[in-house]
Amino acid sequence: MEKNIMDPLLEGGAAIQQRDYTLIIDKSKDMYLSDSAIGKSPWELMQESVIKLASECEKLDLDGLTVYLFSDYFKRYDQVTSTDLVHIFLENQPSGKTNLADALKDAIDNYFERRALNIAKPNGETILVVTVGEIENPDRVKDIIIFAANNLQQDEELGISLIQVGNKPEVTQFFNY
């Protein structure tokens, strides 16, 4: 007997609707370093893909996305559309280190605060992290993710996905960490 398995990403399953979407985007100096055969920096290559990703996410998150840009410090933008994202990229240039921990902690804390106030969406939140550089303090990032996992009320309420730009072995190693 053949099972009919739905792919929620392709078929719009209920799990990806009624959910908030957050993009955490690396803007460290590593985003300027080109490892591309076509001569574009990771920053340039990433923008088009992230804008397309954001346009799909905003179909599911009608009140806008939360977007973080991070390097030494992070900046948070609320209720962002894919059109806004174009302007955000123009206002920011890569510099600094790859300090993911502070942005990720803020995003997770923000989710748990909204959940405690009963204003989080019914199906929780998806956090998509886009990075090219070697992550500063990977143990702290791991601890933040473990803290989040230990505070979930349901397994599906918070998803964190890591998206690598380029092919740096250090980043791949972190993703396998």
Kindly list the domain boundaries of the chain, sorted by start residue: 25-105+116-175
Range 25-105+116-175 has CATH code 1.10.10.10: no
Q: Which residues of the chain have pLDDT under 50?
A: 1-2, 6-10
pLDDT score for 4: 52
Spatial separation of the C-alpha atoms in residues 81 and 51, rounded to whole Å: 9
Q: What is the pTM of this model?
A: 0.87
Spatial separation of the C-alpha atoms in residues 49 and 41, rounded to whole Å: 13
What residues contact residue 34 under an 8 Å CB cut-off, 6+ apart? Answer: 40, 41, 42
Task: Decide if 42 contacts 49 (C-beta within 8 A).
Answer: no
- Within the chain, how many helices (H) and strands (E) appear? 6, 5
- C-alpha 64: how far from its chain's center? 14
Share of residues in the chain with pLDDT > 70 (%): 83
